[in-house]
Amino acid sequence: MRDFSVLLNDTVLAIISLLLLLFQGTATLILLSRLIKGARRYPPLVPQLPDPEMLGKVSVVVPTLNEVYRIDPCLQGLSLQSYEVREILVIDSHSQDGTQEKIKQAALSDPRFRLMSDDPLPLGWVGRPWALHTGFLNSSPNSEWVLGIDADTQPQRGLVTSLVRVAQKEGYDLVSLSPQFILKDIGEWWLQPALLMTLLYRFESAGVRQQTPQTVMANGQCFLSRRTVLEQLGGYSKAASSFCDDVTLAREAAKQGFKVGFLDGSKLIRVRMYEGIAETWKEWGRSLDLKDASSRSQLWGDLVLLLLTQALPLVLFMFLGTCWVLGYDFLSLKLAIALNLTLLIIRYALLIAIFPSYYQDQFSWPRSLFFWLSPLADPIAVLRIFLSAFGRPKQWRGRIYRH
Residue ranges of the alpha helices (H) in 177-325? Answer: 186-202, 227-233, 245-255, 276-279, 296-306, 313-325
pLDDT of residue 38: 83
**Residue 1 confidence (pLDDT) above 50:** no
List pLDDT tens digits, range 32-43.
998 998 878 899
Burial of 24 (0-12, 13-18, 19+ CB in 10 A): buried
**Residue 3 confidence (pLDDT) above 70:** no
Residues 6+ apart with CB under 8 A from 186: 367, 370
Q: What's 52-196+204-276's CATH class?
A: alpha beta
Contact predicate 174/256, CB 8 Å = no
**Residue 329 confidence (pLDDT) above 50:** yes
Beta pairing partners, 4: none
Looking at per-residue confidence, does 241 or 400 come out higher? 241
174 membership: H or E segment, kind and range: strand 174-178
Cis check: omega of the bond before 47, within 30 degrees of 0? no
List pLDDT tens digits, range 272-312.
999 999 999 988 877 899 999 999 999 999 999 999 999 99
**Residue 12 confidence (pLDDT) above 90:** no
Describe the crossing of helices 331-354 and 313-325 by its angle, rounded to 10 degrees.
140
Residues 6+ apart with CB under 8 A from 283: 273, 274, 397
Contact predicate 158/275, CB 8 Å = no
How many angstroms separate the Cα of 231 from the Cα of each of 60, 137, 172, 363? 16, 9, 16, 45
CA distance 289 to 306: 11
12 membership: H or E segment, kind and range: helix 4-35
Within the chain, all domains assigned CATH 3.90.550.10 are found at 52-196+204-276
Looking at per-residue confidence, does 226 or 403 come out higher? 226
List pLDDT tens digits, range 154-196.
999 999 999 999 999 999 999 999 999 999 999 999 999 999 9
How many angstroms separate the Cα of 367 from the Cα of each of 189, 191, 371? 7, 12, 8
Looking at per-residue confidence, does 14 or 310 come out higher? 310
Residues shown for the chain: 403
Contact predicate 166/265, CB 8 Å = no
Please tell me whether residue 387 adopts helix, strand or coil conformation.
helix
Please tell me whether residue 169 adopts helix, strand or coil conformation.
helix
Contact predicate 333/14, CB 8 Å = yes
CA distance 257 to 360: 39
Evaluated on CA atoms 114, 49, 221, 140, the torsion sign reads positive
How many angstroms separate the Cα of 259 from the Cα of each of 10, 41, 357, 369, 374? 54, 16, 25, 39, 34
List pLDDT tens digits, range 131-164.
999 999 999 999 999 999 999 999 999 999 999 9
Of the pLDDT bands very low, low, confident and very high (cuts 50, 70, 90), residue 2 is: very low
The number of angstroms, rounded, from the C-alpha of 10 to the middle of its chain's C-alpha atoms is 43
How many angstroms separate the Cα of 382 from the Cα of each of 196, 201, 305, 316? 10, 11, 10, 15
pLDDT of residue 188: 96
List pLDDT tens digits, range 197-240.
999 999 888 878 767 888 899 999 999 999 999 999 999 999 99
